[in-house]
Structure 1
Amino acid sequence: MSDSPPDQAPVIRTIAMPADTNPAGDIFGGWLMAHMDLAAGSVATRRARGRAATVAVEGMAFLSPVVVGDEVSFYGTIVATGRSSVKILIEAWRRKREDEGSVKVTQAVFTFVAIGEDRRPRPLPPL
């Protein structure tokens, strides 16, 4: 596991807020997963040059907690493509408000399928 974020701009960057917490004050894992899906969807839509739908998420382990006020950055990298599908590795990294260092929170591979106007899978366009 890398100890520094990917050398690219994040797809999404946001701040964890009090409304995103469970009763213990920790950020919900579902909040992280939703933002990861948004980031993956952005990457998939650009690659598909159109609509794409999430069809699978592979293994997700929470490595470090996120607390209110943390800046969370979501990085996306295409790791594989098929005829109509694209697999995207999303990494989530947090940075405390007062620090410069980042810590990996979680990662997962999201699979998307390009969707046509008929709402059925369609081939990915050539690069």
Structure 2
Amino acid sequence: MSSPNSPLPVSLPTDAELVLKVIPMPADTNGNGDIFGGWVMAQVDLAGSVLPARIADGRLATVAVNEFIFKQPVRVGDILSLYARVTRVGRTSITVKVEAYTERFRTQGQYIKVTEASLTYVAIDDNGQPREIPKR
């Protein structure tokens, strides 16, 4: 049950793929005792790269974080589920939207949206230079 100050549970996206699930631990906390934003950003970057890796058929590099919104804190022991969907495929780059939802350990099955982001990855060759994405 939600308290008056807690966010209401939401439904999970049906137009995105679950690409990563992770549980943050005490070593991942900031000075407030919540999970450090940099840790969340790293998980989002990992999750965001999954779908572009399938499309690019080779190495990728993160070239832009177009948007990153922290909506709610993540807590130690939460089950963090990250969903991704490709929003654009260009000649050398792929843009992905990532949404992160948490299940508080004691209320599993009730999801709260904690983060949303848009990231752009570029396909690179063995020398780290941009390369064309194979046509499908």
Structure 2 length normalisation: TM-score?
A: 0.87
Percent identity between the two aligned chains: 44
Equivalent runs, 1:1-127 vs 2, <5 Å: 3-7=10-14, 8-99=16-107, 100-127=109-136
Give me the whole-angstrom Cα distance separating, in 2, the residues matched to 1:85 and 1:24.
37
Number of aligned residue pairs: 125
User: 1:87-123: per-residue Cα shift (whole Å, max 9, x none)?
Assistant: 0001111001121110110111110000012321111
Question: What is the DSSP-based 3-state SS (H/G/I as helix, E as strand, rest coil) of the residue aligned with 1:94?
Answer: strand
Look at both structures and tell me which one has the larger radius of gyration over its CA atoms. Answer: 2
1:23 is displaced (CA, Å) by: 2.1
Give me the whole-angstrom Cα distance separating, in 2, the residues matched to 1:91 and 1:61.
10
Structure 1 length normalisation: TM-score?
A: 0.93
Give me the whole-angstrom Cα distance separating, in 1, the residues matched to 2:17 and 2:52.
16
User: 1:54-104: per-residue Cα shift (whole Å, max 9, x none)?
Assistant: 000012121111111100011110000110000000111100112111011
